[in-house]
Structure 1
Amino acid sequence: MDTSQITFDSTVPAPDHQDDPPGRVWTLQVTCSLISMALLLELLSISYMMISIALPQISAHYQTTQGAWLLTAFLLLGAVASPLVGKLADTHGKRRLLMVCVALSAVGALTSAVAPSFGVLVVGRALTGMLGPCLFLVYTLIRDVFPPRTVAMSVSIAISGMGLVAIPAPFLTGWLIDNFGFRSVFWFTLICLGVLGPLIFMTTDESPVRLRSKIDLVGAVLLGAGIAGVLIGVSFGPDWGWTAPSTLAYLIGGTALFAAWVVSARVIREPLIDLRIVANRPVAMTSLVSGLCYAVSAVFTILLPFMCMTPAILGLGYGFGVSAEGFAIFQAPLGAATVAGGFLVGALVARIGPRALMITGLVIMAVACALTAFSHESKPQVIIFSALVGLGGGIGYASAPNLLLAAVPQALQATTGAVTSVAQNVLPAVLPVIAFSVLNSRIATVVEGAAFYTDEGMTIGFLIAAGAAAIAAAAALALPRKAEQVTELEALT
């Protein structure tokens, strides 16, 4: 591809903030834009949390043991859609694709709210997964249109949250579920999207950056189908049996399709994802490390409600018997600490660098998950450990985009951000399935259709999260100490 194909759309005026005095960079428009986009990503975060807390009630209502698919489907479509959305964003504008993702997510929320069957609910949750690509669309859009002096802090705030909903969200979630049932969380999501979408459109400039290229639909189908096949095989493997023909068919078929995508990406002149960019060590390692960071949070976030809501009277060695609203005392510190971690990165990244911060965050997560695994008999302990997981996660979340922005040229950040987004969706979809496959082999008792796990099972579940965080920290050590940016010539010729 010729580098001349990277252009700036002449119909979209490029924001000029280079000469703005320091006191004027935080204009009302910039502030409102940041708040609205940060709240959109906060909605992405609490949507996952809401489903985790509501999962027992949903499973009981639809009389299903496949409740985990509400989480997997959400992440699955996000992973499948991200590469195509990233490419379309580079060619047609990041704000435009952000609005498309918001609109599709709203349709998904509405479908979930009125779902007459569990299958329809899964479809709705999958469509709501279009919130996933919003993650990289937001921070690359910030990079393109925000004043340069505000970019580092804005990215950190947007990724880790504003703190406006981190503490009240768990209490709101519990109140909604306890008083209005599980459908209320879907109506809440729909209302929020209906407000935030227009606000972002009115306050955020369109990116003038354009990458003129063709859309690789063949690559999109191969990559999407490959990821979907592997995820379905991994998700249903514990139920079907790992050697069952259906499981092997999905795993082998998905792997074959993914391999076909790799071949096509090497042959096609303008592939969906340029593998020469992915082969760059900062891009590849950032994708792996950030994906594992999100996966650790996913496992911890799912296990924590199960552990805390288990009645202590069962005598399993864990459980406090709290309601959905009572669970907020465990979730709120985690959310608040996540926000604090993001602010720490914004304040320290220029002096310390994102690599050291990423490693620090992952080490904190690994230690906190291990402590939770071996010591979960009292509420204060679990609350403290939860806050530490949130702190480490917030540091990791905010460090990832800073690593990527330093490694990739501006014109390709949406495309390469899509690669990272795939990892941030696939790994969190797979790791909880692995954890629950272990838990499901260690069921202590079943009460009115609800399974409760042994203390050993809970310990192993949290240790899986700790081990993943440790592996991610070790992988982060392979990141270069100084940014090694892929130049546009290296990436496109």
Structure 2
Amino acid sequence: MSPDTPSGTSSAEQSWTPRLIFSLASIVLLLEMLTLSYLMISMSLPSISAHFHTAQGAWLLTVFLLVGAVSSPLLGKLGDLYGKRKVMLGCIAMSAIGSLLCALAANFAMMLVGRALAGFLPPCVFLGYSLIRDVFPPKVIGLAVSIATSGLGLIAIPAPFFAGWLIDNSGFRGIFWVLAAGSVLFGCMIAASTEESSVRVRSRIDVLGAVLLGAGIGGVFVALSLGPSWGWSATSTLVYLFGGLVLIIAWAVSAGMIREPLLELRVLRRRPILLITLSSACCYGCATTLALLLPMMIMTPGALGLGYGFGVSAKGYALYQTPFGLMVVVGGALVGVLMGRRVRPRPLLLLGALLLAAAFALVAFEHHDRLLLLVFSAMAGTGTGFAYGATPNLLIEAVPPQLQASTASVVNVAQSVMSAALPVIAFAVLNNSFIATLPGGSHGAILYTEKGFQVAFLIGAAAGVIGAVLALALPRRIQQIVVSDAGEVEGTASVVAH
């Protein structure tokens, strides 16, 4: 690590300046755009799927999350080697190009390429926090990071209405023009206001690990997505499925053989960390799956006689999205309040998973009443907020500071992969057995039977139940990893987590 003082902290007494405020605002706006991107894609999925006559719309989010998950560890190391600001601006540029491709896409394949490039935006979250830590004055770092973190929730209420208005008035291409323009604007603001970090860490880049992991997960996902149309016993399906599994196994083997792997898997040998990782991943997968299934069900015209749907516009759907986004923020805040009163994070993660499971199960069997759907959406949002807030606090209890960065990267990848995988599984089931056949055609859109949506929501409920069981299996007394001065794992220390 460079002994030089970071350029933004040359004076220990330095406090807020107009440039620092502008820098923080630029970073916060960029992170807000990431949240807006998730909302816009989920709300525009029905119109995109109808326009391109595809049943693979879930891949618009899957490929985005997959690229973000696999690239994050590599980009983190590149930031340590060459500067976090440079890497962050490069990610923003790639995201802008990806959104531009989506706005101009003539076919669904071009749309997927654009979304893959846009997947370089999620790593900007940890790059932004790291940059704040490196270049902001010590006196304001805590407040700056808090503002950047809480800022992610400010967009929860107005964003669905803005996204709905944009989709209804400009079509789905309008959201990608906005995302491309926002990337360029906020990238320029960061370039003009934020200095480069002087912190440098020598590190090896595990490119082979990234290729093996990304290709392996991608192969399995392709098999799950296209298996219904290819046939589950078709050669192409089996090649992608087993080829992907072989690549994933090869990655795991390589990770145990090299000194600085893409992901430090040794932390998963500890039972509490493994359980925290898998439980939180199930919750994250539930949240993403709900964001894709709910708009498709609610925005389908009820006049088609499928047994569901209200035929609302994208702007009308915002009413159903708002309780979810609002309660994610409230649930996360409640975690902080309850932990301040000595409530441990373990039961909060358990409660979050149970709320998600209950919300999915209720929507599966009761989706004809608008008011009840609002309640179920709020219930799922609360569960998601509990899971989001409890997970990092559990990791803090289970892992010492020396290993928190490497552990967080493993957990983040697991959460992203599950967020990408669960929708693929749900839509694979829908496309395999539950495509609706309507008299006179389906008006260009791929529609599903009511039974299909019930099964899809029950898949989400099962994931929530699994997450709850894993959270319940967490030991009441967590054995925190103890690390020696040389960085080696020595043993454990008890931390009460009941």
What TM-score comes out, normalization by structure 2 length? 0.85
- The Cα of 1:333 is off from its aligned counterpart by 1.6
Matched, 1:454 2:459: no
Percent identical residues: 52
Change (3 A) 1:463 1:312: same
| 2: CA distance, partners of 1:125 / 1:396 | 27
Alignment of 1:266-305 (within 5 A): 266-305=256-295
Report the more deviating stretch, 259-268 or 402-411.
402-411
* CA distance 1:405–1:321, change in 2 (3 Å): same
- 1:82 touches 1:419 (CA, 8 Å); kept in 2? no
Please give the per-residue CA displacement for 1:196-250, whole angstroms capped at 9, x wherever unaligned. 3344456667666654222222222222222222222222222222222111111
Does structure 2 retain, via aligned residues, the 8 Å contact 1:153–1:347? no
Letter in 2 for 1:338: V
2:59–2:424 contact (8 Å) kept in structure 1: no
Identify the match of residue 480 of structure 2 among 479, 484, 490. Answer: 484
Contact 2:53 2:446 in 1 (8 A): no
Q: What does residue 4 of structure 1 align with?
A: none
Q: Deviations over 1:300-325 (max 9, x none)?
A: 11111111112222333321111111
Deviation at 1:415, TM superposition (A): 4.1
Are residues 1:226 and 2:216 paired? yes
Larger CA deviation: 78-87 vs 34-43: 34-43
Give the aligned partner of residue 474 of structure 1.
469
Deviates more, 1:24-33 or 1:368-377: 24-33
Relative to structure 1, is the Cα distance of residues 197 and 79 closer, same or farther in structure 2, using a 3 angstrom cutoff? Answer: same
Cα 1:449–1:338 change in 2 (3 A) is: same
Distance 2:29 2:271 in 1: 32
Asked whether the equivalents of residues 398 and 478 of structure 2 are also in contact (C-alpha less than 8 Å), the reply is: no
Partner of residue 10, structure 1: 4
Amino acid at match of 1:12: P
Residues 402, 105 of structure 1: CA spacing in aligned structure 2 closer, same or farther, 3 A cutoff? farther
* SS class of match (2:94): helix
**Alpha-carbon offset, residue 285 of structure 1:** 3.2
- Residue matched to 2:314: 324
Within the alignment, does 1:116 sit opposite 2:112 as a pair? Answer: no
Kindly provide the CA deviation profile for residues 55-102 of structure 1, in whole angstroms up to 9, marking residues without a partner as x. Answer: 222233333333232222212212221231233334444444333322
Measure the CA separation in 2 of the matches of 1:98 and 1:486: 33
Distance in structure 2 (CA, Å) of the matches to 1:353 and 1:146:
32
Q: Aligned in 2, Cα 1:380/1:87: closer, same or farther, shift over 3 Å? A: same
Amino acid at match of 2:269: A
Q: Which residue of 2 aligns with 1:357?
A: 348
Worse overlay, 229-238 or 460-469? 229-238
After superposition, the CA RMSD in angstroms is 3.3
Q: Give the Å deviation of 1:471.
A: 1.0
- Mapped contact 2:39–2:159 kept (Cα < 8 A): no
Pairing of 1:143-292 with structure 2 (within 5 A): 158=148, 162-200=152-190, 210-292=200-282
Q: Deviations over 1:406-426 (max 9, x none)?
A: 555556655443322321221
* Counterpart position of 2:386: 395
| Corresponding residue for residue 463 of structure 1 | 458
- Tell me the equivalent position of 1:312: 302
Task: Provide the C-alpha distance between the structure 2 equivalents of 1:379 and 1:14, rounded to a whole number of angstroms.
Answer: 52
Which whole-Å CA distance do the structure 1 matches of 2:346 and 2:130 have between them? Answer: 19
Deviates more, 1:219-228 or 1:464-473: 219-228
Contact 2:51 2:445 in 1 (8 A): no
Q: Which residue of 2 aligns with 1:48?
A: 38
2:494 aligns with none
Paired AA for residue 289 in structure 1: S
Q: Which residue of 2 aligns with 1:3?
A: none
What corresponds to 1:82 in structure 2? 72
Q: 1:444 and 1:63, CA in 2 relative to 1: closer, same or farther beyond 3 A?
A: closer
**Distance in 2, Cα, partners of 1:27 & 1:360:** 43
Offset, 1:153:
8.5
* Cα shift at 1:479: 4.0
Q: Deviations over 1:364-422 (max 9, x none)?
A: 21222222222111111001110111121122223333444555555665544332232
Contact 1:276-1:491 within 8 A present in 2 as well: no
CA contact (8 A) 1:160 1:394 kept: no
Q: Which runs of 5+ in 2 are unaligned?
A: 490-498
Whole-angstrom CA distance in 2 between matches of 1:210 and 1:485: 27
Paired positions, count: 483
> Quick one: distance in 2 between partners of 1:225 and 1:152?
38
CA contact (8 A) 1:294 1:393 kept: yes
State the distance in 2 between where 1:152 and 1:242 align: 52
Q: Which residue of 2 aligns with 1:103?
A: 93
Quote how far apart the aligned CAs of 1:275 are.
2.5
